[in-house]
A and B are shown apart, each in its own frame.
Chain A
Amino acid sequence: MRLYLAVFALLAAVHCEELINGDQVLRINAESEDHIQILKMLERDVDSGLDFWTHAVSTERPVDIRVPHSSLHAVKDFLKKNNIPFTVMINNVQELLVREREEMVRNAEIESKTKSFSFAAYHDLETIYNFMDTLANHSKLISKVKIGSTYENRSMYVLKFSTGGVKRPAIWIDAGIHAREWISHATAVWLADRIATDFKENRAPVPSILSKMDIYLMIVANPDGYVFTHRSSSPLYRFWCKSRSATSNPKCQGVDLNRNWDAEFGGPGASDDPCAEDYRGPSSQSEIEVKNIAKFIMSHGNFKSFMTLHSYMQFLMYPYGYIGIDAPDWPELHDVATKASKALNSWHGTVYKVGSIFHTIDQASGASVDWAYLRGIKYSFAFELRDTGEYGFLLPANQIVSTARETWFALRYIMKYVCDHPY
């Protein structure tokens, strides 16, 4: 419908084009009752061709008049003779109309693009990157930040949601560090749109969070791996987990990007066999993808929360992964995670288990959540999204939106908590 209106307006504007080329809009600042009377007289003269956008009522308010090009000289002369001050508000009405028309068409295009983009589907990397462009180009809130390139030289982007400021305290959310966990990327795509929409529609608590903090959302943390999972339906591709870097074994590629962080790297809970799924890599942060993210977060220096989305098992976890003793902030982190999981559960009744990574899944060294926590980012959490094993990595697309929405309930709780508890 909107597209039709836009086209109609376009045609109408084109028809009117010759009539307004070179017209100007003058803003009159009447200073006395006399001035008002003169302006009223002008307005009553229907043959003058003057188009009063606002009426002469009092000296309190400016009077805006569109003056046809042919009358410009005469009208300006008249105003000067009567000592009525004015300014040229719109230099060329035609130009303005053209720009407005262009913007309307652009908006209609963007609307149809976002409307035809289905959140209830899994998309390949190119489609996700186009979606990110659409979001960033259409919103002052969102910008697309390139933080580096992957092993196979693909760009790594993070979406920055910010209402301004300089390096405001920030929240980090990433998805897709394990390529086969498609529900994590799909959830992040939905989240990006949801944060944008909640901000635009002034829905609490997003505007108040964004008035004090920035949100950084990385939808695809492992682009090479993600592309690989799309190459074919063969399980050898679809279940690819790691990066795609060459290793010391020419027959095996890739490093588990969630074992490559500088957090007790080399400890138990990861493998040093390049053919293993949890291969930690030859050295800490050897993987360019991990290096890029770590460098970005450290050089920013003001992140207050770090959250990562994985699948599957329906867990909401906090540090540590590398060891079984309680993190110093354990009581608070456990409480926040418990309440967040309750918020998640309130939507569809999905049950998440809460605990440290070590106790809930298994010991894991070199994990991103440990890295963040050990760097002082207190509110660090890891999500394992739906389901608990029935479909596992192959979660049907018709569960994407409900998964994303319940995850949003948890994230929103955590973000609000982080915002309310500065440190």
Chain B
Amino acid sequence: MLSVIHTHLESVSSRLCYATVLRFINSSSSGPRSSPERIMKAFCSLWLLLSLVELSPAPPASQEPPLVCRGATDPAPPQPETQEDMASTGDLEPTHFPARRAAQVALHHLNTLHGSPFRVFGLQQVHKASAEDVAAGGRKYSLDFSVTDWASGSAGPALRCSAEVMFPRTQQHSGPEVQLRCEALQQVSSTAEEHAFYQKYVTPDSAVSAQHLPDSYGNMSEDMQPFWRLARVAASFIMLRESSENTEFNMVQVASITQQESSEKQLMLDYVVLLHDLPSQEIVQWKLLVSWSPDRGVRVLQTEWQPRCPHATKPPN
């Protein structure tokens, strides 16, 4: 009987109704505590019964139970929903995390294509978003958002972008697929800054090496900033690949950088980067081998996930 009710409720469009009534079904096992509660429960049960009897299409949101059913003074908190119910289809609230996570994925993709030691894009705002289920259990997000170039600081203009981000829902994780268009983003030829940076460090005797960018206090020398940005772009390859609807990655530090011998006139850099996942709060460590030149752009040649020795009481020195 309960499963019939559940299925029926699922067809009701408003998640709110579902959750509210679910709570009353669940709380009925412990028994109502007061007569106002009993009245509320009776009212909501009656509503539920009526909707069952009618078997009509889902009532519009305006017909959800009145405020009294939400238990304004009910001390018992409502029961949590399951993961499935959380995901919604159709228009998404732009400030909520599902739209934002999808936009961040689109941004990782943008940075893999157009990022450089002098250009890293960050999300400014999601304007519109929607999602729909697609074949084979995936979900596709359609997004309208703005980005800014962190390298320009607060002076930079915002670029308007639109994207489709498809998260496959397969047994084994596979990375999302992104289609992206941004205004005013031609295949920009590399800048003078990039060439100067390249010339300076592609020399055979260049052996850049550093740790903790930025340091604990947020400090980073200006010299090292292009290397940091390069790491951030390279990290975008990993973040893109590892993303799902349940993650939200960001790079929080370059743990180390060691320049390798140039090969094929590319800057070759060994990086260890630290990524932060917002929902789980975890910090994940990756080792990357990256090549870059103004002509060929950023390429990630090797990636290796590194355990952070989280289970050791003393870190290795």
Contacts and interface: CB of A to CB of B under 8 A. Distances in A.
A323 interface: yes
A144 to B, nearest CB: 27
A349 B124 CA distance: 13
A326 B16 contact: yes
Given A251-B312, A355-B96, A392-B250, A235 B218 contact: no
A89 interface: no
Interface stretch (B70-78, B168-176, B197-205): B70-78
B191 interface: no
B262 interface: no
B91 interface: no
A42 interface: no
Q: Which of A263, A391, A395, A399 has the most CB of B within 10 A?
A: A391
A104 interface: no
Interface residues of B, number: 53
8 contacts: A235-B212, A275-B311, A323-B77, A353-B95, A362-B279, A374-B77, A390-B122, A393-B252
A64 B123 CA distance: 72
B62 interface: no
Interface stretch (A27-35, A105-113, A236-244, A415-423): A236-244
A268 B279 contact: no
A363 B280 CA distance: 10
Contact of B80 (A234, A252, A322): A322
Contacts of A239: 252-253, 274, 283
A241 B281 contact: yes
A268 B80 contact: yes
Interface in B80-108: 80-81, 83, 86, 93, 95-97
Contact of B311 (A238, A251, A264, A365): A251
Contact of B83 (A236, A251, A256, A268): A268
Given A326-B16, A396-B218, A278 B280 contact: yes
B80 A363 contact: yes
A269 B280 CA distance: 8
Given A359-B97, A362-B97, A233 B216 contact: yes
A35 B191 CA distance: 94
Interface in B294-310: 308-310
A35 to B, nearest CB: 71
Q: Which of A121, A249, A353, A374 has the most CB of B within 10 A?
A: A353
Nearest to B246: A362
Given A324-B81, A325-B78, A396-B217, A389 B122 contact: yes
A359 to B, nearest CB: 4
B96 A360 contact: yes
A226 B297 CA distance: 40
A131 to B, nearest CB: 18
Contacts of B70: 325-326, 328
A22 interface: no
A397 B281 contact: no
Nearest to B276: A392
A359 B97 CA distance: 6
Given A277-B283, A325-B20, A391 B218 contact: yes
B218 A361 contact: no
Interface string A208-232: 0000000000000000000001100
Nearest to B283: A239
Contacts of B280: 271, 276-278
Nearest to B212: A233
A323 B19 contact: yes
Contacts of B282: 276-277
Given A239-B274, A251-B313, A359-B96, A323 B78 contact: yes
Interface string B235-257: 00000000000000011110100
A359 B19 CA distance: 15
Q: Which of B154, B279, B309 has the most CB of A within 10 A?
A: B279
Contacts of B283: 235, 239, 277
Interface residues of A, number: 57
A336 interface: no
A325 B215 contact: no
A237 B125 CA distance: 33
Nearest to A351: B125
Interface string A390-411: 1111111101000000000000
B3 to A, nearest CB: 21
Contact of B250 (A230, A237, A252, A389): A389
Contacts of A278: 280-281
Nearest to A390: B150
Nearest to B313: A251
Interface in A337-366: 349, 351, 353-355, 359-363, 365
- 6 smallest CB-CB distances across A and B, nearest first, come from A396-B218, A251-B311, A277-B281, A362-B279, A236-B315, A392-B252
Given A239-B283, A277-B281, A389-B122, A359 B20 contact: no
A253 B214 CA distance: 26
A360 B78 contact: no
A361 B280 CA distance: 10
Given A233-B215, A253-B313, A277-B280, A394 B252 contact: yes
A125 interface: no
A12 B58 CA distance: 89
B63 interface: no
A148 interface: no
A59 interface: no
B102 to A, nearest CB: 14
Nearest to B95: A353
Contacts of A363: 80, 86
A361 B278 contact: yes
Interface string B117-156: 0000011010000000000000000000000001000100
Contacts of A361: 97, 278-279
A126 B103 CA distance: 42
A238 B78 contact: no
A323 B81 contact: yes
Contacts of B35: none
B15 interface: yes
Q: Which of B215, B250, B279, B281 has the most CB of A within 10 A?
A: B281
Given A277-B283, A390-B150, A394-B215, A325 B72 contact: no
Q: Which of B72, B95, B283, B285 has the most CB of A within 10 A?
A: B283
A287 B279 CA distance: 22
Contacts of A374: 77
Q: Which of A236, A251, A278, A397 has the most CB of B within 10 A?
A: A236
